[in-house]
A and B are shown apart, each in its own frame.
Chain A
Amino acid sequence: MAEIKLEHVSYEYGAGTPFAKMALEDVSVTFTPGVITGVIGHTGSGKSTLAQMLNGILRPSSGRVLLDGEEFFSDSKGKKNKKQKQMQIKNRFRVGLVFQYPEYQLFEESVYRDLAYGPKNMGKSEEEIRRLVEEAAYFTGVEREWMEKSPFELSGGQKRRVAIAGVLAMDPEVLVLDEPAAGLDPGGREEILGRLKTYQREKKKTVILISHSMEDVARYADELLVLKDSRVFLHGSVSEIFSDAEKLEEAHLSLPQITRLMLRLRQEGIGLPDSVYTVSDALFALKDLLKGENGVC
């Protein structure tokens, strides 16, 4: 299990122009290997910038990105020799990044060939490519009938799955997903995120899941990283972070709706636990309650 770590990372867009904009400031964080870390934050807080930092698409203006203790960019700024460049590309293969709205990356004439694009760039053999593509298709729910179709014939949600599978097919050790469920209907969200969770559990991957939705991170993440105004605001387990609703409000975030409902019921004197973050947990809690003391409702 690979460990990815940022040390005092800052990033400025358009440095030196009138449009300069600090998108990350002095971010230090170690992502726990083998778990899903949810990254949340208000819009514009630097989540997507952070994601692109993790596999070297963007290079920190200052600070270091470490993959298993090794620096991602070992060269001095700007200059690269061949070996360092290959090293960088190899590191990029170890950290898969799915961009926000990744459908635009599809380009091949068939879904199969599009999924094979990543592994092919890695120099894998035909057989291995086939195996990787099938595995990625299995975990993301890309169906067999689509394989020979053009990716442009698929629906939006189907395209999304193919785009995610295109990155999974590279079998990265760390998977970074930037809002993988954005713009999907509730059913589609659940399907994609549930499948990614299964994938992470079965393959023991380190996953970094960026999301707007408190409901989604509550349900799928093990740890949370909260960004506020380009800085790390909170980092800890889901229950740790959700136990301090006021602190979250400061970052313009609020607890999941179901948690707020449960807390409200508690205020009314109904004996419910205060750490209910998902609808299914709420269901259990309510069932317990009804079994225990009849007549409250």
Chain B
Amino acid sequence: MLKDITLGQYFPGNSVLHRLDPRMKILLMLIFVVLVFFANNLLSFLYLLLLVIGLIFLSRISFTVVLKGLKPILLISLFTALINLFWTGGEVPLLSLGFLKIYPEGIWRALFMIARIVSLVAGTNLLLSYTTSPMEMTDGLERLLSPLKKIKIPVHEFSMMMSLALRFVPTLVEETEKIINAQKARGADFESGNLLRRAKALTPILIPLFISSFSRAAELAVAMECRCYAGGEGRTRMKQMKLTLRDLSVFLILSALFLAIIGIARIPFPLSVSL
């Protein structure tokens, strides 16, 4: 079912990561993403894995949820791993199948690639998607980017658009499911026939979906105007974001732990691959 997609989904909670200021989380996420690319040997990849497990504990999100969130990248990681497996040269081939030769270096590289993609996705999910509500996320982003307002970039408008879009993703998913079911009840068959037939079978879903999306957008615009929405100028917030000492210390500790990768990557270790 469509609902099984957990990528980019918020799980309400009260853990350390849930309570951390969204601005700090966004910054931490950026630091993490950059540092993942510093990992280059077995030791640093193990450390990366340790960090991800640490984040799982900090967020109190269940292990299975995190694994499920990795499902969408299964194909991409396998594909990347395979390419690396066959295209990495080395000295002594482990196995040769005609023109394809597999070297031990290739195997390591493939494994590292998987570890890199997995920790990238799991890390960003844990730091942001799972533990930050879409509202907090866009508010945090707006605050972080607010200096750009000085050079006339409409930061508020962008973040409003983003939060509206995020807000309506679940609605859209729900609605799509409802429409699919209603057409199934009228005997629609989306699963058999050739590609053209299947594409045609989608019309009864897409048309109602477009129509309701447009009318919803129009209604939303009217509703916002009725409540005197007129852009970001002079708008106050119900929830004021305040950085506390706690937020700062969590941020400093986590970023120090992340930065340690650079050091670990420099330790000479037999199984290292320059990526």
Q: Show the binding face of A for B, using Cβ within 8 Å.
A: 14, 16-18, 52, 55, 57, 85, 89, 92-93, 96-97, 99, 102, 104-107, 117-118, 121-122, 152, 166-167, 170
B183 at the interface (CB under 8 A from A): yes
DSSP class of B's interface residues: helix, strand, loop or mixed? helix
B203 at the interface (CB under 8 A from A): yes
Q: Which residues of B contact A167 (CB under 8 A)?
A: 185-186
- The reply to whether A121 and B65 contact each other, CB–CB distance below 8 Å, is no
Q: Which residues of B contact A57 (CB under 8 A)?
A: 181, 184-185
Q: Which residues of A contact B182 (CB under 8 A)?
A: 99, 102, 104-105
- The reply to whether B208 and A18 contact each other, CB–CB distance below 8 Å, is no
Report Cα–Cα, A104/B172, bound state, in Å. Answer: 13
- The reply to whether B11 and A18 contact each other, CB–CB distance below 8 Å, is yes
Using an 8 Å CB-CB cutoff, how does the interface string of B234-248 with A read, 1 for contact, 0 for none?
000000000000000
Report Cα–Cα, A57/B183, bound state, in Å. Answer: 10
Q: Which residues of A contact B203 (CB under 8 A)?
A: 107
Report Cα–Cα, A267/B192, bound state, in Å. Answer: 64
Q: Show the binding face of B for A, using Cβ within 8 Å.
A: 3, 6, 11, 62, 64-65, 175, 178-179, 181-189, 191-192, 203-204, 207-208, 211-212
- The reply to whether A107 and B208 contact each other, CB–CB distance below 8 Å, is yes
Q: Which residues of B contact A166 (CB under 8 A)?
A: 186
- The reply to whether B181 and A121 contact each other, CB–CB distance below 8 Å, is no
Query: Can you list 14 pairs linking A and B with CB atoms under 8 Å apart?
Result: A16-B64, A17-B65, A85-B191, A85-B192, A89-B187, A89-B189, A93-B187, A96-B185, A104-B178, A104-B208, A105-B208, A107-B203, A118-B186, A152-B211
Interface residue from B11, B64, B185, B212 paired with A97 (Cβ < 8 Å): B185
Report Cα–Cα, A102/B212, bound state, in Å. Answer: 13
Chain A residue nearest to B181 in the complex (CB): A57
Report Cα–Cα, A106/B207, bound state, in Å. Answer: 9
Report Cα–Cα, A122/B207, bound state, in Å. Answer: 21
Q: Which residues of B contact A96 (CB under 8 A)?
A: 185
Chain B residue nearest to A57 in the complex (CB): B181
Interface residue from B184, B192, B204 paired with A107 (Cβ < 8 Å): B204
A52 to nearest B CB, angstroms? 7
Report Cα–Cα, A167/B186, bound state, in Å. Answer: 6
Interface residue from A18, A85, A105 paired with B186 (Cβ < 8 Å): A105
B234 to nearest A CB, angstroms? 38
Of B3, B175, B204, which is in contact with the most chain A CB atoms at under 10 Å from its CB?
A: B204
